[in-house]
Chains A and B, each alone.
Chain A
Amino acid sequence: MKIIGILICLLLCSGCWDMKEINQLAIVNLGAADKDPETGRITAYYQVINPSALTNKQSGAAKAAVYTFKFEDFSLGRFTRQTTTIMPRSLFMPHMQALILSERYAKQGITDMINFVELSPDRRTNVIFLIAGSPIETIINSFSPLERMPGRYIRSLINLSGQGFETGYEPIRIKDLAKGMYRKKPMVIPIVSYTSSEPAKDTNRLEDIDIRKKTFLFVGGAVFRHGRMVGRLNFDEKQRYFLLNKNLTNYIETLTVNGDYVDVEASHIRVRRKFNASGLTYRIRATLRIVNNQQTTPVTRGNIRDIEDKFNRQFEAESQAFVRMAANKDWDLLGIQDRGIRDWKHVKVTFKVESDMSAIGNTTGPHTFERGN
């Protein structure tokens, strides 16, 4: 009797309703969307993995690792149903690596997208979020070099760039936007563009050694305030934003010392912010390591002190320039208003930078043969 009972229970445990058979899934690797500001119609793109192209055993199979499906509708909730008109498999979103939105969509506000992703049990809020710096059709219809799936390519790039961040990854997920939406401090989301005006629609187009002609490229960041894109930052400004907001703890700075270039890697950057009567004071400590030295003089204690001083002054000057830029554009990029200070533009921001050189590389100084002769 017991065995029969257990068998009945096991049969019922098969979960017929929510069963997902892997061979019946259209696994989305990369998603993208665009919204027409005039009609409000949304165009959604799903880049779906073609499993047969990813297996090495099968010869003569289709080469394309992914296929892009395009749909158009007026409301986000209608797309899953619409996919059944063309996709022979069920749309499966949990493995999506990144979501790219067009710049014009971002400028109209992305709250609808955040709400939709957060509400759905099939979608994940820790998916990487990007803004398209090129036409979205070009980006979503292009194959990528080195990685067969563009979604994984983008994810790998983001993972690499995230190594300098305190948490191990950039705060550019949908969850970060959902959290940051309530704050006065704008969020910065990377802009991905494509180096060619023509997409690499088939893998043959990637048969060129100069891959820079047709590839994805990260160019600065899109500034979001309360879920709406309000402007752009260049690569250095984006880096400064993450540095001063305690996200980034590692970066490369190029200094001019005694008239020559010295590249230093600043790591273990510790940022402390303190509000007092005189304004906002940043105390920054960093550990330096020389990664390139083109000076004519050997590295001595005095020279190291010069490099440290130069780094401190340059960091301060660049940070002050960043603060001025933010005030001019009316973006509270340091989040001063979130501390209850309304007149944030008139808060005096001072930087006190201290750095320590911990490593100088394998040489005591550069070779100076050419200059000596």
Chain B
Amino acid sequence: MEQARISGWQMFTVTFYFTAGTTWIVLTSQMIGDAKQYAWLVCIGAFVYGLALALLWLYLSHHFPGKSLVEIAVEALGKWAGGVIALFYILFFIQIASWVTRNLGDFLHASMMPQTPLAFFNIMVLFTCAYAVVKGAAAIAMVTELLTPYLTLAYWVPVLVTLRQWDWQNFHESHIASVWTTVVHTRYAFAFPFMETVSLMMLFPYVRNRLKTSYLLGILASGVILSLSLLCNIGILGVNRSSHLIYPVFVLFREMQFTSFLEHLETILAINVLFIVCLKLSILFYCAVLAICQLFKIEKRHFVAYPLIWVISAYSLLFRNIVENVEWVRDYLFSYYTLYAIFFPLLLLIGAWVKKTRLHGLPQAD
């Protein structure tokens, strides 16, 4: 098994890009459509909820120091029951990896290369990520750390330039029916991405120091950045237009114009999306491979990683089009993720308590 070491700062960047990942590309339109000019407030609510869940997962991890999620499941519930839960988590990681792959394919297909087959994007990206997975968690964390300054600058400098087009009137254009209805309609924002961060429990054993701080700050920072990004979309593109477009962030870059010498920066954004999504996909892919290796005691990751490319690629083509994907996210994602983010962790905690109580109840051997 791998003996990787990840620093607190690296864990922060990994958590940040894992959480931001595809969310700011995929969810912006839908969130603004459902919550109008209050979408950024929904995002704040969602990341507070994400932080509360993160505390639950950290509490669970505190009971099993040095153990990954799969190892915790097996230790808390035993080989068979724990193994079933671990299998569920493996399925969960593979599913999210497939959806992330599909999101990237859809984005490139719709905005940049409409003629290129979707499967081709998937396989190319998955091969790269599989290579990263074989190299290990430390390699992925180092690449994330390396790309952080560039990605931050390449996103925020153009966005700051477009702030010249900010229009406060955009915040007076639409109205929501009621706060409660809006919260119910936008429940997917609580799930995606904040409930997905339970996956990072697979990396907890590798974190050298400041695990709690880096993990919580990573979620907090990405939540704040996502809220700001939504705010910028509303202020610049407007509620009606942002909700009308599939990728408003891309259009924001496409329409950016600073006098007449700085314009059409969408290609830079597309490359950055590719970087960020590859980082998230590598982490998820790694979680899936590591979980399989730990559960079935497989020593070499590449035996699992390369065949998994075909599974993830095929799974990513399950949705016939982006509309099906969006409807799935809107209607079912919150309920589905609740199983993995709340129900299973609580079950594992109960298992841990029962085990602890039993141990205390046993007569002490002299």
A121-B111, A121-B114 in contact; A169/B172 too (CB < 8 A)?
A: no
A118-B245, A121-B110, A182-B238 in contact; A175/B255 too (CB < 8 A)?
A: yes
Q: Does B7 contact A (CB under 8 A)?
A: no
Q: Does B364 contact A (CB under 8 A)?
A: no
A168-B259, A173-B255 in contact; A121/B238 too (CB < 8 A)?
A: no
1/0 per residue, CB under 8 A from A, across B255-270: the answer is: 1011110011000000
Identify which of A12, A17, A124, A339 contacts B254 (C-beta below 8 A): A124
* Interface members, chain B 159-201 (any A CB < 8 Å): 164-165, 169, 172-173
Q: Does B271 contact A (CB under 8 A)?
A: no
In the complex, chain B residues whose CB is within 8 Å of the CB of A169: 257, 259-260
In the complex, chain B residues whose CB is within 8 Å of the CB of A167: 164-165
Contact check, A178 vs B116: say whether CB atoms are below 8 A apart. Answer: no
- Shortest CB distance B321–A (Å): 15
Q: Does B115 contact A (CB under 8 A)?
A: yes
Q: Does A15 contact B (CB under 8 A)?
A: yes
* Interface members, chain A 11-27 (any B CB < 8 Å): 12-13, 15, 17-18
User: Which range holds the interface residue count of chain A?
Assistant: 20 to 34
Q: Does B347 contact A (CB under 8 A)?
A: no
User: Which range holds the interface residue count of chain B?
Assistant: 20 to 34
Q: Does B322 contact A (CB under 8 A)?
A: no
Identify which of A125, A168, A338 contacts B251 (C-beta below 8 A): A125
Q: Does B96 contact A (CB under 8 A)?
A: no
Q: Does B237 contact A (CB under 8 A)?
A: yes
Contact check, B241 vs A17: say whether CB atoms are below 8 A apart. Answer: no
Identify which of B115, B116, B240, B255 contacts A126 (C-beta below 8 A): B255
* Interface members, chain A 96-111 (any B CB < 8 Å): none
In the complex, chain B residues whose CB is within 8 Å of the CB of A94: 264
Q: Does A364 contact B (CB under 8 A)?
A: no
Give CA–CA (A159, B257) in the complex, Å: 12
In the complex, chain B residues whose CB is within 8 Å of the CB of A12: 120, 124
Contact check, B116 vs A18: say whether CB atoms are below 8 A apart. Answer: yes
Contact check, B260 vs A159: say whether CB atoms are below 8 A apart. Answer: yes
Q: Does B41 contact A (CB under 8 A)?
A: no
Contact check, A9 vs B127: say whether CB atoms are below 8 A apart. Answer: yes
Q: Does B112 contact A (CB under 8 A)?
A: yes
Q: Does A183 contact B (CB under 8 A)?
A: yes
Give CA–CA (A183, B263) in the complex, Å: 27
Q: Does B65 contact A (CB under 8 A)?
A: no
In the complex, chain A residues whose CB is within 8 Å of the CB of B164: 166-168
1/0 per residue, CB under 8 A from B, across A1-13: the answer is: 0000000010011
Residue of A with least CB distance to B254: A124
* Interface members, chain A 143-184 (any B CB < 8 Å): 159, 166-169, 173, 175, 178-179, 182-183
Contact check, B124 vs A17: say whether CB atoms are below 8 A apart. Answer: no
Contact check, B258 vs A126: say whether CB atoms are below 8 A apart. Answer: no
Q: Does A335 contact B (CB under 8 A)?
A: yes
Give CA–CA (A156, B332) in the complex, Å: 52
Supply 16 A–B pairs (Cβ within 8 Å), ascending by A: A13-B124, A15-B116, A17-B113, A17-B115, A17-B116, A118-B244, A121-B114, A126-B255, A168-B257, A173-B255, A175-B255, A178-B244, A182-B240, A335-B169, A338-B169, A339-B172
Known: A124-B255, A169-B259, A175-B241. 6 other contacts (CB 8 A): A9-B127, A12-B120, A126-B254, A167-B165, A338-B169, A338-B172
